[in-house]
Amino acid sequence: MICGANKELMERASRYISQHQRVLCANYMIYQSVIKCCVNTELVAKCNEMTPFMMVATRFFSCYPKRASCIVTEEGDLRMRIFKKDEELEEDFKEIEELRETVLGANMPPHVEKVALKELEKLSKTGPSSAEYSIGTNYIDYMVHLPWNTVTEDNLDMKRAESILEREHYGLTEIKDRILEHLAVRILKLSRRHRILVVDDEKMTRMNLEHVFTKDGYEVLTAASGIEALKLLEEGSFDVIVTDLKMEKVDGLTVLEKAKAKDPTTEVIIITGYATVTTAVEAMQKGSYQFLAKPLKLVEVRSTIEKVLMKKRARLQSKGPALCLVGPPGTGKTSLGMSIARSLERRFTRISLAGMKDEAQIRGHRRSYVGALPGRIIQEIRRMEFKNPVFMLDELDKIGQDFKGDPASALLEVLDPEQNSQFMDHYLDVPFDLSKVMFIATANTTDLIPGPLLDRLEVLYLSGYTEKEKQEIAYRYLIPREIQEAGLFDAPPEFTTDAINRIIREYTREAGLRNLQRQIASVCRKTARDVLKNDGHMPAKKITPEVIEQMLGPRKFYFEVAEAEDKVGVATGLAWAETGGQIIFIEATKMRGEGHLLLTGSLGNVMKESAQAALSYIRSHTTLLNIPEDFFKDQDIHVHVPAGATPKDGPSAGLAIAIALISLLTNRPSRRDVALTGELTLSGMILPVGGVKDKALAAHRAGVKCVVFPDRNDADLREIPEEIKRNLEIITIRELIDIVDKVLKERAPQ
């Protein structure tokens, strides 16, 4: 029926469609009704009326299947009942157009913008009432609000950064040095002058380009021929080479080949007054960045050089380091991350990985259902609005794993500097660059971190604090903060040095500062209550050791070693746990039996094997140790480590177990003020152990006078603070026999 219409009718129909295509819509019923109208001979006369409607129905049927219904009356008149008002339809189209404009103005990478526009094209053919429409709009909204190219400029003032770190944290020299090293690398890379080689046999051209490039701050060398240029290439490297094409003996293409062969990152710009399509194509195939024709336009040359060096600077930018701060609770790992962000003037964000079991919390959910979201990494990046924040991953050693996946494996891509520039979140389904993010993970121990993940981290250890360090931190940070929290502005209490020392020694026993802060806060709260009892008119209170005992009650901790007696069969050992160094006691006794070794105290397999090895060494060296050869024949030996409810494991107790057994079998009391640590072999060699500084601090807190370490730990002894070394006698040994007479006293009377 349409083919019988004249040309004018078709033009009218086309104009009608163009005027109404944004508001008219049709469904399958419309389409069928129009077809019936077309084949009905009685309606042929009404073709002029029906043609626009039919064409509209045919065009929009596939796009808007559920927006209208068609009613055909007995007289054959076709009428459309639009379920939505024209204004509402216009609003739908307006939303699509606004999203399109937002996508085009979001400064996305080209490949990401292409994906967003493709998704937008799907939305234009989807009804707003469908679930897919809301999923698509949420996805595009997320894409446009991600900081694809937005970064904060680092403050590269090293003195300022150093002063912030010193002001907010006492000690922690190694970590502060690492941050300042990162700043130093950034400063050197950004302050580097780019080298440009200008090759041209025309002196005027060389002089003009040299003058322009030198004025722009570049280091410029010139060559009057291709031969001279090749000599300069052998002597050094260049960031950019600007060379003429036509030169005697060695032309510009040869210079291009030699430059690319030596360093593929060197960019070459060819200039010539004899440009042809063939030579241009050949130059581009060999790796030329640009092909410029003479006479040169300085604006064009400058912009080309700037584009080249911009790409090179992007490659030279240092990637964000992935640090892992390992130390006992309360040593300031999280607050240190915040200080690092302030020193660099970057945004700071953190997420806790403790108990995380679902891989989707790192990689995100796929957009296959309503409510899908990106992973926590992308969520926090979007919330920060910059792509280079300081990102803290707290409690890395407490991450979980179950049937939903392994989050630790998903973190491999996040923390690997060779992979995270193309991090693929399942929700985004496009790569996102995480290489500019400074990741800082925290953990109490590295034992529970998977090996491949630990390999991608730069581990920095935070040991516990000495008494002097705790005292300084209390006066600089803890006391002023708690006075402010308690509202004691008008009459702040004055803590004496003896009072602080008493809190540290008798009311706390920790490597960190949390309990010390709690006790100081308790004193401040009680002082605030006393102020109110006196109607707010109370002079500043002086906090002395006696006041501490009144407010905090009886002492909670004692010096176990200093106040203990030397006994037979009891040795003092040193251990390391998530909470820092600890003192342990090894007790041994013998009884009638059948030659069995009993081990109790919630010991792990490694510690049980250490006890077996110690006993085997003693049985094979009875003559050297003055022990009867048949001591194990008719009696059992029982080794116990107190605090049986606490699981214990590790090889470093082997030396202490051996000393306890030798003390028992020789009836010689063991000195309780001598603490030992080291792994014992069957030949009597003492192998090195970890946590040397933490163990030394624990020994000092417990009142130990002498500590024994393997001689292979000599390098680790440098980490022990000088004030601890002054109060401790440190002995290093190679074999067990070297320390027996130092630790054991003379034989006790029977």
Active site residues per annotation: 652, 695
What distances in angstroms separate CA 615 from CA 192, 391, 588, one per listed residue? 64, 50, 11
DSSP, collapsed to helix, strand or coil, labels residue 249 as coil
* β-pairing verdict for 195-199 and 240-244: parallel
Angle between helices 545-552 and 514-533 (to 10 degrees): 90
Sign, CA torsion 556/562/563/568? positive
3-state secondary structure of 605: helix
- As given in the structure block, the two tokens for residue 643 are 């605090």
| Residues contacting 26, CB < 8 A, separation 6+ | 56, 57, 60, 61, 64, 67, 68, 70, 80
Cβ atoms 215, 192 nearer than 8 A: no
> Residue 548 is encoded by which pair of tokens?
């501490």
Q: Which residues, 6 or more positions from 558, have their beta carbon under 8 angstroms from its beta carbon?
A: 506
Instruction: Give the C-alpha separation, 621 to 734, whole Å.
Output: 17
Spell out the residues 6+ positions from residue 632 whose beta carbon is closer than 8 angstroms to its own. 595, 615, 619
Q: Could you write out the three-class secondary structure of 317-352?
A: CCCCCEEEEECCCCCCHHHHHHHHHHHHCCCEEEEE
- Residue 67 is given by DSSP the state S
Phi, psi (deg, nearest 5) at residue 65: -75, -15
Report how far apart, in Å, the C-alpha atoms of 718 and of each of 180, 374, 665, 724 are. Answer: 22, 46, 36, 11
DSSP 468-534: HHHHHHIIIIIHHHHHHHTT-SSS--EE-HHHHHHIIIII---SSSHHHHHHHHHHHHHHHHHHHHT
Query: At 685, phi and psi to the nearest 5?
Result: -75, 150
Structure tokens at 248: 């005697």
Q: How far apart are CA 694 and CA 367, in angstroms?
A: 49
* Edge-first strand listing for the sheet containing 290-293: 219-223, 195-199, 240-244, 267-272, 290-293
Q: Which is nearest to 426 in space by CA: 478, 377, 354?
A: 377
Report CA 458 to chain centroid distance, whole Å.
Answer: 11
Find the helix packing angle between 131-144 and 86-104, rounded to 10°.
Answer: 30
Phi and psi angles of residue 421, each rounded to the nearest 5 degrees, phi first:
-70, -15
Residues making up the chain, counted from first to last: 750
Sign of torsion over alpha carbons 614, 615, 617, 621: positive
Q: Going by C-beta distance under 8 Å and a sequence separation of 6 or more, which residues neighbour residue 254?
A: 226, 230
Considering only CA atoms, which of 263, 399, 392, 398 is closest in space to residue 340? 392
Radius of gyration of the chain (CA): 39
Phi and psi for 380 in degrees, rounded to 5? -70, -35
| CA atoms within a 13 Å half-sphere pointing along the CA-CB vector of 703 | 14
Q: How many Å separate Cα 112 from the centre of its chain?
A: 24
Q: Which residues make beta-bridge pairs with 556? A: none
The rounded distance, in Å, linking the Cα atoms of 599 and 607 is 9
